[in-house]
Chains A and B, each alone.
Chain A
Amino acid sequence: MSDKSLFQTPLSRRQLLKGMAAVGVAAVASNALAACAPAGAPAPAGAPGPAGTSPLAGTVGDEMRGKTLELSLAVIAGWPPSQLPVEMFPKFAEMAKEKYGYTVTVRKTEAPFAALFQKVAPTLASRSQEFNLIVSDSQWLGALAEPGWIVKADDVYALNPELDIEPFSSLVVETYQVYPDGSGQRWGFPQMPDTQGLFVRKDLLEDPAEQAAFEARYGRKLPTTYEELEPLTVQEWEPIFEFFTRPEQDFYGTAAQYSKEYDFFSCAYHPYVYATGGDIWDKTTGNVVGVLNTDANAAQLEYFVSLQKYQPPGSPDFGIGEMIDLFTQGKVFSAFNWLAVGLFMIPPELEGKVLAVPHPKFIFPDGERKVIGAMGGQPWVINAFNDDDHMRVCIDFLKWWYQDDTQEEFVQKGGLPWSKKGVNAPGFEDLKPYTRAFKYMLEEGRSRDFWHLPEYAELLAIQQEAYSAYASGQVTDPKRVLDYIAGRQQALLFEKGRTQTPPPDELRNLTLM
């Protein structure tokens, strides 16, 4: 390196002019380059046409015979329901060879919840068919549909009425299919629904010594059966959590999700918001201020976080994985988790010792004892940029996926059904220790999904950070946390034109400090 530094040699006038010219050229060039960026909504491939001609009808004749291709699936890593289609794919390939005459293999790409969208979105933005069929999260529907990246499910249903299966409840349609909310336009195909529940150690509840100790301490009987546990409110569960909290034995009453990761805290807290009779935003006006940041919601936030006292250390970092680890390792009596991971919450050594009940209830402002949980689960979405052959294979795959015997095998392997026929199938409630609770929570009005907007990632990041700040004690005032979220989300939604109301000035510059 030269001994002369930039600062030792004064700039000559010529050098200064050269430098300024270079900056000018860079600015002009950069603007020109930026303007060359891809623009505009793409025209989706495979526009619907008369049945038999459009690839959205799937394979209807010999048009695919003799062909060999690979179907690329993007699925959620570490999420068992997402893996089952890949595991079961050889049966589809066999059927496709036999029925349609083509050879198909599968390529799986996976990423965790938060990362999968980041993996998929840039490929779709560049109109790539890197991923032909995608397991999306329900909140991504708007982000995928609005730019025209995915095929409209209604177009597929028009050509394949057999795919338009009657759902168990409107929750399925509202959560996994419709965008914009309330529009009735369907974009997703239900892959697997999911609802919230509480996994409890039945063997401990049934232990006579525990029952006697509980009765001696609280003056009432320890509930033991599904029927006794299902109506309990969170407040009624609290003494049970407290009873089983024994830090000296490294054993705790419960575990819930307070993690900043993805939507973990949000989904765990939202039932407490719904219990006030309120919501996290107003779908019709797009407003958050005045809806989320109410005193009632602040009190619920305080209460939800206060339940950490019955939980093992490190609860501000608990997510789905921690629920499974803590419960299966015998560190907790109960754990709030998605019922879709029931199979993993009950390893062979816990078989017969676990009971899953619906999310605990609340006393609503009208005095009614009920619950509105958060909806989980995922839809399939089809890449709009698939070529005709891949589009046909996607449709063929979905036709196979929704067949009764395929769905039956899916459920047997730990998947959950969403159709009226599947959920109401005889024996379904007793199939697994968690299927009864799942069916209960999928009933009309018992669960609710939130935003399907393209801005979901930004909205989620704002509230996850703020909730995490409160769960960990960085911020101690729950109302301030909700004010912060409301102000920021309102500003974002206002900027994107989703609401006509700007955030009030006093909420604009709130920080978490």
Chain B
Amino acid sequence: MSTINIAQQGEQAIARSRRSPLRAFEESRFFPLALLLPILFFFVALNVIPTIWMIGMSFYSYSLMSPAPPSFIAIDNYVKIYNDADLWSAFSRTFVFVVLAVGIETVLGVLLGFLFWGSSNMPGRRLALTLLFVPMVVTPVASGLFWRLIYEPTFGVANYFVQLLTGSKIDFLTNVNWAFGAVLFVDIWMWTPFMILMTLAALGSVPKAELEAAEVDRLSIWQRLWHVIWPHGKFILMLGVLLRTIDAYKTTDLVFLMTNGGPGNVTELIGLKLYRYAFASLNIGFSSALAVILLLIAISFTSIYLWVLNLRRYREGA
């Protein structure tokens, strides 16, 4: 060992002995916990406690419009939900909306994602990508309002072209045969860019070396997709699908602005129903029970995705 090294070690030992209490705290095992404390505080205050409160409220009969205090009714609210045919029809409508919206957005997003991935030298690619992402960054309130105007049968742009082509107008938002599709289209317009983004991120996570090796080995496009791209990109892609599923499942603002759930109940999604029970009827007990059920369904979505994602590994491990 050289003299210099010995000197350096000596200086470090002296420095250690002189370190400040702050430095000691930084190195202690409590430091990571301290860093987490602020976010934990907000998480507990804004998430955990309200959730527990909501679960509690779901067992009570309590309306803001009644002078009566909350009264414990056990699972009566849940029984009412179970027996309410309209709620089940809203659930099924929401399920169809989620499956169609997320399904179409994923297919379009993956296709367009591959297109942009494979066209890195295309002129104007950045501009095209930026324009493509605009719908995603516009708030649903603004999107809902201007799509409502676009669809408007008297002076809407969409109907101007429809009339040019067909000679008649379509009541996109008030015709029972069109309203659901019209809202679905706007959701797809808004959120396909998100799936493009996730696809590009997924493709970016594939190591170049493996892609080059696949090319050297002359793997077909399907083999490359299945053996090289999918194993690396699936997590990000599935995360995208998961986030979109949960988000589509919660869709309220868009339908509220475009159709208010109508005509009739054609676009009445479960989020809108919950909103009405909670904020129009101020029926806190019942809406809490419904919210708990929605929460459980959202959790089950997450669990199913995680399970599917790990199914192969689980089988291999078994």
Structural contact, A473 and B176, CB atoms closer than 8 A? yes
Interface string of B261-283 (1 = CB under 8 A from A): 11111101000000010011111
Please give the distance in Å from B260's CB to the nearest CB on chain A.
Answer: 5
Any A CB within 8 A of the CB of B12 = no
Any B CB within 8 A of the CB of A449 = no
Residues of the B chain whose Cβ atoms lie less than 8 Å from the Cβ of A468: 262-264
Distance A39 CA – B72 CA, assembled complex (angstroms)? 13
Interface string of B235-264 (1 = CB under 8 A from A): 000000000000000000000000011111
Any B CB within 8 A of the CB of A326 = yes
The residue that A261 contacts in the complex, of B55, B67, B260, with Cβ under 8 A, is: B260
Interface size on A, residues (CB 8 A): 59
The residue that B174 contacts in the complex, of A147, A314, A465, with Cβ under 8 A, is: A314
Structural contact, B303 and A6, CB atoms closer than 8 A? yes
Interface string of B143-178 (1 = CB under 8 A from A): 000000000111000010000000001010111100
Distance A314 CA – B263 CA, assembled complex (angstroms)? 11
Structural contact, A511 and B314, CB atoms closer than 8 A? no
Interface string of A28-71 (1 = CB under 8 A from B): 01111111010111100000000000000000000000000000
Any A CB within 8 A of the CB of B21 = no
Structural contact, B314 and A314, CB atoms closer than 8 A? no
Structural contact, A260 and B261, CB atoms closer than 8 A? yes
Also in contact, A7 and B306, with CB within 8 A (given A31-B72, A314-B152, A513-B89): yes
Interface size on B, residues (CB 8 A): 55
Please give the distance in Å from B261's CB to the nearest CB on chain A.
Answer: 7
Structural contact, B173 and A317, CB atoms closer than 8 A? yes
Residues of the A chain whose Cβ atoms lie less than 8 Å from the Cβ of B70: 34-35, 37, 39
Residues of the A chain whose Cβ atoms lie less than 8 Å from the Cβ of B171: 313-314, 316-317
The residue that B64 contacts in the complex, of A40, A125, A472, A513, with Cβ under 8 A, is: A125
The residue that B263 contacts in the complex, of A125, A147, A474, with Cβ under 8 A, is: A474
Any A CB within 8 A of the CB of B124 = no
Distance A58 CA – B154 CA, assembled complex (angstroms)? 52
Residues of the B chain whose Cβ atoms lie less than 8 Å from the Cβ of A314: 152-154, 171, 173-174
Interface string of A455-469 (1 = CB under 8 A from B): 101100100011011
The residue that A118 contacts in the complex, of B59, B154, B279, with Cβ under 8 A, is: B279
Any A CB within 8 A of the CB of B296 = no
Structural contact, B67 and A26, CB atoms closer than 8 A? no
Also in contact, A511 and B283, with CB within 8 A (given A39-B70, A465-B261): no
Please give the distance in Å from A153's CB to the nearest CB on chain B.
Answer: 19
Within 8 A of B (CB), among A141-182: 143, 146-148
Any A CB within 8 A of the CB of B69 = yes
Structural contact, B266 and A7, CB atoms closer than 8 A? no
Please give the distance in Å from B78's CB to the nearest CB on chain A.
Answer: 14
The residue that A8 contacts in the complex, of B49, B85, B179, B317, with Cβ under 8 A, is: B317
Please give the distance in Å from A127's CB to the nearest CB on chain B.
Answer: 12
Please give the distance in Å from A77's CB to the nearest CB on chain B.
Answer: 15
Any B CB within 8 A of the CB of A454 = yes
Residues of the A chain whose Cβ atoms lie less than 8 Å from the Cβ of B114: none
Please give the distance in Å from B212's CB to the nearest CB on chain A.
Answer: 26
Residues of the A chain whose Cβ atoms lie less than 8 Å from the Cβ of B303: 6-7
Distance A3 CA – B69 CA, assembled complex (angstroms)? 48
Residues of the A chain whose Cβ atoms lie less than 8 Å from the Cβ of B62: 34, 37
The residue that A147 contacts in the complex, of B67, B153, B173, B317, with Cβ under 8 A, is: B67
Any A CB within 8 A of the CB of B313 = yes
Any B CB within 8 A of the CB of A114 = yes
Any B CB within 8 A of the CB of A253 = no
Structural contact, B57 and A34, CB atoms closer than 8 A? yes
Distance A347 CA – B37 CA, assembled complex (angstroms)? 61
Any A CB within 8 A of the CB of B65 = yes
Structural contact, A27 and B264, CB atoms closer than 8 A? no
Residues of the B chain whose Cβ atoms lie less than 8 Å from the Cβ of A474: 176, 263-266
Any A CB within 8 A of the CB of B25 = no
Also in contact, A461 and B280, with CB within 8 A (given A7-B307, A472-B175): yes
Give the residue among B173, B280, B310 with the most A Cβ atoms within 10 A: B280
Give the residue among A32, A34, A42, A316 with the most B Cβ atoms within 10 A: A34
Structural contact, B264 and A118, CB atoms closer than 8 A? no
Closest A residue by C-beta to B88: A511
Closest A residue by C-beta to B266: A474
Any A CB within 8 A of the CB of B20 = no
Residues of the B chain whose Cβ atoms lie less than 8 Å from the Cβ of A3: 313
Distance A472 CA – B70 CA, assembled complex (angstroms)? 39
Please give the distance in Å from B187's CB to the nearest CB on chain A.
Answer: 20
Closest A residue by C-beta to B159: A313
Distance A30 CA – B60 CA, assembled complex (angstroms)? 11
Any B CB within 8 A of the CB of A426 = no
Distance A292 CA – B3 CA, assembled complex (angstroms)? 103
Any B CB within 8 A of the CB of A121 = yes
Closest B residue by C-beta to A28: B56
The residue that A465 contacts in the complex, of B85, B169, B262, B281, with Cβ under 8 A, is: B262
Residues of the B chain whose Cβ atoms lie less than 8 Å from the Cβ of A317: 171, 173-174, 262-263
Residues of the A chain whose Cβ atoms lie less than 8 Å from the Cβ of B280: 114, 117-118, 457-458, 461
Within 8 A of B (CB), among A272-326: 312-317, 326
Distance A14 CA – B93 CA, assembled complex (angstroms)? 41
Closest B residue by C-beta to A509: B85
Distance A121 CA – B230 CA, assembled complex (angstroms)? 52
Any B CB within 8 A of the CB of A512 = yes
Structural contact, B69 and A40, CB atoms closer than 8 A? yes
Residues of the B chain whose Cβ atoms lie less than 8 Å from the Cβ of A250: 154
Distance A121 CA – B72 CA, assembled complex (angstroms)? 23
The residue that B264 contacts in the complex, of A29, A117, A143, A465, with Cβ under 8 A, is: A465
The residue that B282 contacts in the complex, of A27, A32, A121, with Cβ under 8 A, is: A121
Closest B residue by C-beta to A146: B67
Any A CB within 8 A of the CB of B53 = yes
Structural contact, B65 and A147, CB atoms closer than 8 A? yes
The residue that A121 contacts in the complex, of B52, B64, B67, B175, with Cβ under 8 A, is: B64
Structural contact, A148 and B67, CB atoms closer than 8 A? yes
Residues of the B chain whose Cβ atoms lie less than 8 Å from the Cβ of A219: none
Residues of the A chain whose Cβ atoms lie less than 8 Å from the Cβ of B210: none
Closest B residue by C-beta to A484: B86
The residue that A316 contacts in the complex, of B52, B72, B86, B263, with Cβ under 8 A, is: B263
Structural contact, B176 and A472, CB atoms closer than 8 A? yes
Distance A326 CA – B64 CA, assembled complex (angstroms)? 39
Please give the distance in Å from B276's CB to the nearest CB on chain A.
Answer: 6
Residues of the B chain whose Cβ atoms lie less than 8 Å from the Cβ of A27: 55-56
9 CB-based A-B contacts, threshold 8 Å: A31-B72, A37-B57, A37-B60, A118-B279, A125-B282, A316-B171, A465-B261, A465-B265, A474-B263
| Extra contacts besides A33-B56, A314-B154, A458-B283 (15): CB < 8 Å | A7-B314, A8-B317, A27-B55, A30-B52, A30-B53, A30-B59, A31-B59, A37-B57, A40-B67, A121-B65, A146-B65, A250-B154, A326-B154, A461-B276, A474-B265
| Closest A-B pairs by Cβ, 3 of them | A469-B264, A30-B56, A39-B69
Chain A residues in the interface with B (C-beta under 8 A): 3, 5-8, 26-27, 29-35, 37, 39-42, 114, 117-118, 121-122, 125, 143, 146-148, 250, 260-261, 312-317, 326, 331, 454-455, 457-458, 461, 465-466, 468-475, 509, 511-513
